[in-house]
Amino acid sequence: MVKVHKEGRRILFVTLLVLLALNLLLSHYNGVNVAFNRVFAGVSVVVFLTLLQFFRSPYRKLLTHEDLLLAPADGKVVVIEEVQETEYFQDARRQISVFMSPINVHITRNPVSGMVKYFKYHPGKYLLAWHPKSSTQNERTTVVVESDAGPLVLFRQIAGAMARRIVWYVNEGDEVSQGEEFGFIKFGSRVDVFVPLDADVKVQLGQKVKGGETVLCQFKG
């Protein structure tokens, strides 16, 4: 079952009203050019359906286990590498990044259960989401959770070239549950996850993943 996400309801309602008004005006004032009116009506339907699929919120049968880290979003794995994380850990971590195309569901989900130890919103640029500097220069949020399994996990919502608004539902001190929504990225773009170097990565570059269902890695016992 698929429903419309709450972040899209107002946008969809306003878009529907505008498209209906434009089509009614064309029908009234441009009655002699029926072919154009029909084309415009068809384009209006396509635009509305495109927005509708973007804000869809499909049912997910969530997989939960404290020693597993789940995909925080739908999309494709575009980065798996060792990096220096400089905002919070100040040391080497394994980065796993999931890129969301415009046709993906853009809900972002908690990859682990635990306590939010750190949260910060960063205004920034709107570089293409796969640009190497997007993780540190684009509009983004950073969340660090002390997972129930023990390790601290950092994850970032990152806006892309199309995105202009990141929404989040968590703050420092919150208890979060694995698989539940922690935010939404409107019209973009990617989520980065930073885990300990000894975490056992379960995905490959280019692999398609589903938020709350696909296992990205497993923590060492």
The residues that are catalytic are 189
From CA 98, how far away is CA 134, in angstroms rounded?
A: 13
From CA 92, how far away is CA 195, in angstroms rounded?
A: 9
Q: Classify 56 as helix, strand or coil.
A: strand
Contact 114, 145 (CB under 8 A): yes
Query: β-pairing, 107-109 with 68-70?
Result: unpaired
From CA 183, how far away is CA 106, in angstroms rounded?
A: 9
